[in-house]
Structure 1
């Protein structure tokens, strides 16, 4: 490739099965140790360290230290969006795992995509925000309307604090399982946090799955759709 960014290097970093498994594990939004990522990838700790060094050099992960321990997280929301998009491309072209895992149905229903809600519930939430006039679809990114700001306040989101962050308030993210858009950005993160705080759903340990109770799903729909 003679012109433009070097996509081949990034693709090669993601394309290794062990590194792909590590990156997928980090899609929970949590920082993990090299030992934990080695287990996710099915490689030795030494091999995992080598892979992580390559991912760090390529700008895909970010290390952080806490005491004697070193943790690794995705470098940012942009990396998560690329991974989610690749998952959608793989699913759409039939590049699927041979065996369907026991959590696949739960992941399709609702899951964490780095730090925001994805899956059927994430897509429903995005569509509902558009239909209620809380979001306006934009060429580059969705925009929060005045009605949307009022909704966010009722929902318990501190918009003033969010607008003080460097990260965009609203971003589109292509959902791999539904192949439609869900809401990312600092607002997407805050909405998921409130859903969990309200007890409407919970994170499943060791998985990206977000498990809604029947009453929690009903409460979310009522909170978004009420006049």
Structure 2
């Protein structure tokens, strides 16, 4: 139950220019580091860490540690709606500077690459978005679930075989925070199977000396038919 003290606590956390700028920067759904958010708010990384701790203490942001980095994102859709409402009341003026550029500068790596044994980059994230939109995969927090309809679909496509991987101890699917997109792509047995299938069907080709992948003409058709993913110039999108 909301109390006046709780409302005042949240309002005070939002009502500071640097924190407001950082919250606005997270509105596009990406997860950002403290250094990136410090740049948005034009403050030092040390000062940003204090502000982020304050936002986390009132439940406005969450933190996910991956490797040596800590990535910050809005805690929920409810928080995003609150920030959006405040921005509308403020006159629709953006609270932050241009969004920070994240991930590799190499366009090919940003477009499509492997992340260990699964697809990443714009391609991997778009496939994940498409699977979530169709109800084939559900993602909540750091857990993911392949639905019954999703399993049937993957089996029909020949991506997963009947019986799955009974001897494997790895999860069927799990979310993995994408390095360049800063949104989730799929890892686990399903992510690996999709990558293996794409390589076997020559939908993608490995680029020598790099983790970058090239989407082939057959891949443009295959990804569209299998997942509803469309390749547009140097970006990837999906049709819900």
What interval of TM-score do these two structures reach, taking the shorter chain for normalisation?
0.5 to 0.7
Q: Secondary structure at the match of 2:127?
A: helix
Residue correspondence of structure 1 range 172-183 to structure 2 within 5 A: 172-183=175-186
Corresponding residue of 2:9: none
Residue correspondence of structure 1 range 132-143 to structure 2 within 5 A: 132-143=134-145
Corresponding residue of 1:115: 117
Corresponding residue of 1:129: 131
Distance in 2 separating the partners of 1:163 and 1:110 = 30
Q: Which has the higher helix share?
A: 1
- The CA deviation at 1:204 is 1.2
- CA 1:168–1:159: 2 relative to 1, 3 Å: farther
Distance in 2 separating the partners of 1:127 and 1:96 = 19
Q: Secondary structure at the match of 1:172?
A: strand
Q: Secondary structure at the match of 2:143?
A: coil
Do the aligned residues in 2 keep the contact of 1:109 with 1:120 (CA within 8 Å)? Answer: yes
Residue correspondence of structure 1 range 87-166 to structure 2 within 5 A: 100=105, 104-156=106-158, 157-158=160-161, 160-166=163-169
- The CA deviation at 1:139 is 3.8
Do the aligned residues in 1 keep the contact of 2:204 with 2:214 (CA within 8 Å)? Answer: yes
Query: 1:137-188: per-residue Cα shift (whole Å, max 9, x none)?
Result: 2344110111100111022122524243001111110111111100001110
Structure 1: state its 5+ residue gaps. 1-80
- The CA deviation at 1:222 is 1.1
- CA 1:163–1:126: 2 relative to 1, 3 Å: farther
Do the aligned residues in 1 keep the contact of 2:109 with 2:211 (CA within 8 Å)? Answer: yes
Do the aligned residues in 2 keep the contact of 1:88 with 1:176 (CA within 8 Å)? Answer: no
2:66 is equivalent to residue 82 of structure 1? yes
Q: Secondary structure at the match of 2:165?
A: helix
Aligned counterpart in structure 2 of residue 170 of structure 1, from 168, 173, 177: 173
Distance in 2 separating the partners of 1:186 and 1:213 = 24
Distance in 1 separating the partners of 2:150 and 2:208 = 32
Residue correspondence of structure 1 range 12-51 to structure 2 within 5 A: none
Q: Secondary structure at the match of 2:175?
A: strand
- The CA deviation at 1:223 is 1.2
Do the aligned residues in 1 keep the contact of 2:139 with 2:175 (CA within 8 Å)? Answer: no
Distance in 2 separating the partners of 1:107 and 1:96 = 9
Distance in 2 separating the partners of 1:213 and 1:87 = 35
2:195 is equivalent to residue 195 of structure 1? no
Looking at CA atoms only, which structure, 1 or 2, has the larger radius of gyration? 2
- CA 1:164–1:96: 2 relative to 1, 3 Å: closer
2:205 is equivalent to residue 221 of structure 1? no
Q: TM-score, normalised by structure 1?
A: 0.54
- CA 1:177–1:195: 2 relative to 1, 3 Å: same
